Amino acid sequence: MSAVQPARRIALDVILAVRESDAYANLLLPVRLQRAKLSEADAGLATELTYGTLRRQGYYDAVIALAAGRPVEKIDPAILDVLRLACHQLLSMRVAQHAAVDESVQLAKTVGSNSATGFVNGVLRTITRTPVSEWQDRALASAKNDDERLGILHSHPVWIIRAFRSALAAEGRDSELDDLLEADNVAPRVSLVALPGESTVAELDAYAATYSPVGAVLDGGDPLQLEAVRAGRARVQDEGSQLAALALSRVRPVVRGERWLDLCAGPGGKAALLAAEAAQSGAVLVANEVVPARAELVRKALAVFDPAPEVWELDGTTVGDDHADEFDRILIDAPCTGLGALRRRPEARWRKSPRDVAHLSGLQSNLLDAAITALKPGGVLAYVTCSPHLAESKVIVEGAVKKWGDAIERIDTPAVLATITGETLDLGDTKHAQLWPHRHGTDAMFIQLIGKV
Ligand SMILES: C[S@@+](CC[C@H](N)C(=O)[O-])C[C@H]1O[C@@H](n2cnc3c(N)ncnc32)[C@H](O)[C@@H]1O
């Protein structure tokens, strides 16, 4: 029997930690890779094994249930993790079968009993006896309905598939559902923002982004190799997030002395871009974040500016109490399910539940109400979520319009974005902008600009 390759060991350790301790793979894996000092090739293998296994878990579970002849809920969870990791190698990576099976059996020994090791060996031998394409057909045939079939094919929970379909259907484009689900299974390239006045896209040795005038895309490599990133003058930031911040800062010319508020600022990505934009135009930014540790991250993100913007630690739902009619521009980048960023957080889709949506939508409405109160008459706010779920996006805005009536007005956000990007984005015929990974190459950001009359 061969020794287990470090890449497989690390991948399993991270997958176990994700399930047992709610770890985030995108935070834990880089730490483990650095500690193990793996070669670039082995680090790449460990990343593919970890992310691929976590993303495609739904599909692999369907195959494992068939091969084991029992529902996956009846399999010891650590042994199931070993089987999922092996499935990724056998069904998606096509590594040599004997290496995948032998090393998985070795790994099973470290987390289970002797009988569990025999079980892993038996299930994996069964899987290797049938061609990969046939496993897909058999798994799809085991689905009880069309949504379950899609769930197996693209490895997404059914409730998320339904939420995405509703959001696309609201634009009359539900035929794009397959493309969207597949886009979630591809890790995005590293996207950077060159903070205006601090850095330039040209300095970053990267491609100019498609839409954001301050965005760049790295072809590969570690962004921390760039001096501008190490110094905080440029940051890793999705292009959709950049557009959300710019929609607010560039919706119309800035009058010197304007007061801006980033209501939910942690960890500070959009606050940094807003602070740069404010410094360029003579506005003053205040950033707010209710969780103290995250407020500290905001302070770090803003340390590059002199003077650095003030950071408050208020519950954002109360900001209207002491700050009514105070701010000219407010960003509400609301806490949300993050369903729009599934491609960068491989385990996230399995952690969320419809209950999260119900809980968050109440908070989102309250934050929006508080921000409207804190906005000066004549001011503008941006309501933003990194989720296309209608209950967190369009429905929240419609609720505010119903409640506030003529006191607020929706601003044509796609038209504002077109002036920023220099071209019309392919968006629905709506006042809000819903970006999509499969259509725009960004996270699925929802952006609605609202004016206070
Ligand atoms: C989507 S994140 C913001 C991301 C941030 N704008 C950025 O670009 O880095 C939402 C943030 O809102 C914070 N938050 C949650 N409830 C809040 C509340 N009641 N008041 C203020 N912030 C809150 C969360 O802790 C989280 O840091």
Q: Where are the alpha helices (DSSP H) in 95-144?
A: 97-111, 114-128, 132-141
Q: How far is the CA of 291 from the centre of ligand 1 (A)?
A: 8
Annotated binding residues, as ranges? 264-270, 289, 315, 333
- For the Cβ of 241 lying below 6 angstroms from any atom of ligand 1, the answer is yes
Place of tokens 């970890």: 50
Active site residue 386: yes
Q: Residue 414 contacts by C-beta under 8 Å, 6 or more apart in sequence?
A: 424, 425, 427, 430, 431, 432, 433
Which residues in the chain come in under a pLDDT of 70? 1-2
Q: How far is the CA of 246 from the centre of ligand 1 (A)?
A: 18
Q: Ligand 1, residue 301: give the atom nearest the CA.
A: 9
* Among protein residues, the one whose CA lies closest to atom 6 of ligand 1: 265
- For the Cβ of 215 lying below 6 angstroms from any atom of ligand 1, the answer is no
Q: Are strands 446-452 and 433-434 parallel, antiparallel or unpaired?
A: antiparallel
Give residue limits of the domains in the chain: 6-142, 238-452
- For the Cβ of 235 lying below 6 angstroms from any atom of ligand 1, the answer is no
Query: pLDDT value at position 95?
Result: 87
* Among protein residues, the one whose CA lies closest to atom 15 of ligand 1: 335
pLDDT digits (tens, 9 = 90+) for 203-252: 998 999 999 999 999 988 889 999 999 999 999 999 999 999 999 999 99
Query: pLDDT value at position 55?
Result: 96
- Would the CATH topology of 6-142 be identical to that of 238-452? no
* Among protein residues, the one whose CA lies closest to atom 2 of ligand 1: 335
* Among protein residues, the one whose CA lies closest to atom 12 of ligand 1: 264
Helix axes 77-87, 97-111, angle to 10 degrees: 170
- The candidate with the shortest Cα–Cα distance to 349, out of 235, 444, 266, is 444
* Among protein residues, the one whose CA lies closest to atom 1 of ligand 1: 335
- Separation CA 321–CA 205 (nearest Å): 46
CB 419 within 8 A of CB 345: no
- The candidate with the shortest Cα–Cα distance to 299, out of 291, 310, 284, 315, is 310
- Separation CA 308–CA 297 (nearest Å): 13
Q: Residue 387 contacts by C-beta under 8 Å, 6 or more apart in sequence?
A: 336, 337, 338, 339, 340, 393, 444, 446
- For the Cβ of 365 lying below 6 angstroms from any atom of ligand 1, the answer is no
Annotated binding residues for S-adenosyl-L-methionine, as ranges? 264-270, 289, 315, 333
Q: How far is the CA of 433 from the centre of ligand 1 (A)?
A: 20
- For the Cβ of 445 lying below 6 angstroms from any atom of ligand 1, the answer is no
Beta strands in 90-239 (DSSP E): 191-194, 207-208, 215-217, 234-236
Question: End-to-end alpha-carbon separation of the chain, Å?
Answer: 73
Query: pLDDT value at position 424?
Result: 84
pTM for the structure as a whole: 0.96
The one catalytic residue in 116, 386, 411, 420 is 386
* Among protein residues, the one whose CA lies closest to atom 24 of ligand 1: 335
Query: pLDDT value at position 205?
Result: 87
- For the Cβ of 261 lying below 6 angstroms from any atom of ligand 1, the answer is no
CB 441 within 8 A of CB 366: no
Q: Ligand 1, residue 288: give the atom nearest the CA.
A: 21
- For the Cβ of 354 lying below 6 angstroms from any atom of ligand 1, the answer is no
- For the Cβ of 450 lying below 6 angstroms from any atom of ligand 1, the answer is no
Q: Is 238-452 assigned to CATH 3.90.1170.30?
A: no
**Rounded CA Rg of the chain:** 24
* Among protein residues, the one whose CA lies closest to atom 7 of ligand 1: 269
Query: pLDDT value at position 94?
Result: 74
pLDDT digits (tens, 9 = 90+) for 157-189: 999 999 999 999 999 999 999 999 999 999 999
Query: pLDDT value at position 2?
Result: 59
Homologous superfamily, domain 6-142: NusB-like (1.10.940.10)
Query: pLDDT value at position 3?
Result: 81
Q: How far is the CA of 84 from the centre of ligand 1 (A)?
A: 34
- Separation CA 427–CA 418 (nearest Å): 10
- For the Cβ of 338 lying below 6 angstroms from any atom of ligand 1, the answer is no
- ∠ CA 371-375-377 to the nearest 5 degrees? 145
Pocket test for ligand 1, best of 238, 246, 288, 290 (most atoms within 8 A of CB): 290
Q: How far is the CA of 255 from the centre of ligand 1 (A)?
A: 27
- For the Cβ of 112 lying below 6 angstroms from any atom of ligand 1, the answer is no
